[in-house]
Amino acid sequence: MTALESINLGYDAIYLTLLLSAPLLATGLAVGLAIAIFQATTQIQEMTLTFVPKIVAVMLALIFFASWMMIKLTDYTNELFTQIPDLVR
């Protein structure tokens, strides 16, 4: 395995990690921003108001995106397993 192949493997792994985490992080960001705007306009500064809706929204996004995430992860794993004979030469 050359240095370029190992760099490509690392790049693909990091790219897949960012791709799989993006929908959950974007959901948390959007809900957090909406709650922050709501708190700023109503001047309600309750700490649990920020955590509970974010947790619920991220869990719903996880349920919604789970099949897509599993497909991407299994495709990457299958591709990686098929590359093993070429990498071990």
Over residues 26-72, the pLDDT tens digits come to 999 999 999 999 988 988 888 788 899 999 999 999 999 999 999 99
User: What pTM value is reported for the model?
Assistant: 0.83
Cα–Cα distance, 67 to 59 (Å, whole number): 14
pLDDT tens-digit map of 39-50: 889 888 887 888
Max mean pLDDT among 4-8, 36-40, 73-77 falls in 73-77
Cα–Cα distance, 34 to 67 (Å, whole number): 27
Query: How much is the CA Rg of the chain, to the nearest whole Å?
Result: 19
Predicted local distance difference test score (pLDDT) of residue 32: 94
Cα–Cα distance, 49 to 75 (Å, whole number): 38
